[in-house]
Amino acid sequence: MCSPRFFRVEYEINPWMDTGVPVDADLAVKQWERLRETLVELGHTVHTLDPDPALPDMVFAANGAFTVDGVAYGARFRFPQRGAEAAAHRAFYAAHGWPYTEPVEINEGEGDFAYLPGVAGGLILAGYGFRTAPPAHAEAVEVLGRPIVPLRLTDPRFYHLDTALAALDDHTIAYYPGAFSEASQRVLHRLFPDAVLADEADALDFGLNLVSDGRHVVLNGDAAALATKLAAAGFTPVPVELTELKKGGGSVKCCVAELRPPPPTTTDPPTPR
């Protein structure tokens, strides 16, 4: 995660950003801090990047890379206003000893990639249509060695996959069908017939921009109907408020880059003879 100490809306690169709407910087930090505390209280370790005053969108840390089994596939941002963020993420992975691949193709990290380790031995859902370029999907396959299902986003309000779809556990997703092309909707229905479906109102409240550990689902508090559906599906909703960061086009998931280390190795004891 990265503190929104320098968060502001000084350009418009998605439909949610409006330079004429003021941001309460102190409230943004307070809300972000409560999100960080919530994750720690749920038992998770949170690493933080130092914010850069020249990069007001660094708070949206999910866009900086995508990791699978201890390997990081770096980001290359669509818009130059965010381009320099990639170096900060690259430095983090280098400092922690993660293999890191510098991308050739445009992709915006976990903004457009979701991982389901329990499906097909590890399946990546990959969004395209607004930010990530389709050739990045092939590049990610080579880097991460996992099959990818491309999904076309068609509504500019849902410009990243993580605004319209989320992994709830190793094999379950929640999504808003209206964000996708008809063909992609059919693919999702075939792959995930038991998915939790969000309505447009909760999707527009960034309810799907969530983080789940397989049991607890941390999501925007405005998405009350989706929280009810998640509870009915056996998950525990944990609502948080991020009103200020929504002004930049993001919420919970945008603020969190999930680190997926290699699976633990076990050494079985020798078989007695």
Between CA 58 and CA 202 the distance in angstroms is 25
Q: Is 269 exposed, middle or buried, given 0-12, 13-18 or 19+ CB atoms closer than 10 A?
A: exposed
List the catalytic residues.
Answer: 160, 254
Residues 6+ apart with CB under 8 A from 85: 55, 57, 58, 63, 64, 75, 77
Q: What's the distance, CA 218 to chain centroid?
A: 12
Categorise residue 256: left if φ over 0, alpha if ψ from -120 to 50, beta otherwise: beta
Residue 101 pairs in a beta bridge with: 73
